[in-house]
């Protein structure tokens, strides 16, 4: 699904967003196998907000990510932006550095 422009993001619901790809709900390095279409903006926000361990242990479904207040605030902002735009989110303060944290 890499680079697909007609897929609908499982997180924000945007269709045709740039950089939509198959995203592992639980990171592949943590044993995840399920993928869902995810736009680059949502994927960037998810990985900047939660560590791989948090995604495996606490946010292991699309519904759990969607229910989180941080993601809801992000969605409120994202829905005001152009559907064709791609946004990069940077790692939050306090989140440990490292490949698998």
Q: How far is it, in rounded angstroms, from Cα 24 to Cα 76?
A: 23
Q: Is 45:86 a contact under the CB 8 Å cutoff? A: no
Q: Against a cut of 0.85, is the pTM above it?
A: no
The two three-digit tokens of residue 93, written as one number: 């303060």
Q: Token pair 């924000």 is at which residue?
A: 12
d(CA 63, CA 6): 22
pLDDT tens per residue, the chain (101 residues)? Answer: 444 446 899 999 988 776 778 889 999 999 999 999 999 899 999 999 999 999 999 999 999 999 999 999 999 999 888 777 777 776 555 555 555 54
Q: Give the three-state DSSP class for 40.
A: helix
pLDDT recorded at residue 4:
44
Question: Would you state the structure tokens that stand for residue 17, as one six-digit string?
Answer: 């967003």
Contact 42, 11 (CB under 8 A): yes
Domain chopping of the chain, boundaries = 21-78
> Which helix (DSSP H) or strand (DSSP E) does residue 23 occupy?
strand 21-24
Q: Per residue in 27-42, pLDDT tens?
A: 999 999 999 999 989 9
């Amino acid at each position: 699904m890499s680079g697909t422009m007609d897929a609908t993001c499982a997180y924000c619901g945007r269709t045709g967003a740039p950089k939509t790809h198959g995203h592992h709900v639980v990171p592949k390095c943590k044993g995840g196998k399920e993928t869902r279409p995810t736009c680059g903006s949502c994927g960037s926000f998810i990985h900047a907000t939660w560590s791989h361990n948090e995604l495996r242990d606490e946010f292991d479904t699309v519904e759990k990510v969607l229910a989180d207040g941080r993601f809801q605030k992000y969605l409120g902002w994202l829905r005001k932006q152009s559907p064709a735009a791609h946004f990069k989110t940077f790692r939050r303060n306090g989140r440990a550095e490292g490949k698998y944290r």
